[in-house]
């Protein structure tokens, strides 16, 4: 169980992901979380830097779908002006939203990357399907909802156990 919480890659932000290297390895699609992965949980729209990153993603040849556990209004308000497809109220780590996003992109598990800030939803959900998982540091922890705060407590326990077993070699980064 704990091994499924380990991402294939850890970076500070989405901007640190080497898109070209992943494309060369055969990946063609990115499923990304929204809140605290792309922007803070209360940020209504993308920053200019993030808009430029979306363009870089598209220019590199990737398809992109936002998969969020948040409500339709939150996700659509963010994604629609950017012309990004999305799955709202996803209930991650369920397999269904990941499969739906892959179908939207017309891609397989072997071609798909999952990017998110939570081990229990994004990483666990992606790993269960054999997707390439990328864990980013959360952008604005203070803005998180009650369920995410609960998940963070469980993540701390899991990280402690992973470290004890020698499965989490890098020290957790603090922001």
Strand locations in 97-160, DSSP E? 112-116, 132-136
Among 1-5, 23-27, 140-144, the range scoring the smallest mean pLDDT is: 140-144
Residue 160 reports pLDDT greater than 80: no
Residue 68 reports pLDDT greater than 80: yes
Question: Which pTM does this prediction carry?
Answer: 0.85
Cα–Cα distance, 121 to 125 (Å, whole number): 6
pLDDT tens-place string over residues 32-64: 999 999 999 888 899 999 999 999 999 999 999
């Amino acid at each position: 169980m704990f091994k499924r919480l380990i991402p294939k890659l850890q970076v500070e932000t989405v901007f640190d992901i080497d898109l070209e290297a992943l494309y060369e390895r055969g990946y063609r699609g990115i499923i990304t979380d929204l809140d605290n992965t792309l922007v803070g949980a209360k940020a209504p729209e993308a920053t200019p830097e993030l808009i430029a990153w979306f363009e870089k993603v598209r220019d590199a040849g990737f398809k992109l779908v936002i998969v969020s556990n948040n409500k339709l209004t939150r996700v659509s308000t963010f994604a629609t002006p950017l012309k990004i497809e999305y799955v709202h109220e996803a209930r991650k780590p369920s397999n269904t939203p990941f499969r739906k996003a892959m179908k939207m992109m017309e891609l397989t598990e072997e071609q798909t990357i999952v990017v998110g800030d939570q081990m229990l939803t994004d990483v666990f959900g992606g790993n269960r399907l054999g997707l390439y998982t990328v864990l980013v540091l959360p952008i604005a922890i203070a803005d998180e909802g009650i369920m995410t705060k609960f998940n963070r407590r469980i993540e701390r326990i899991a990280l402690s156990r992973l470290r004890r077993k020698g499965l989490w070699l890098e020290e957790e980064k603090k922001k």
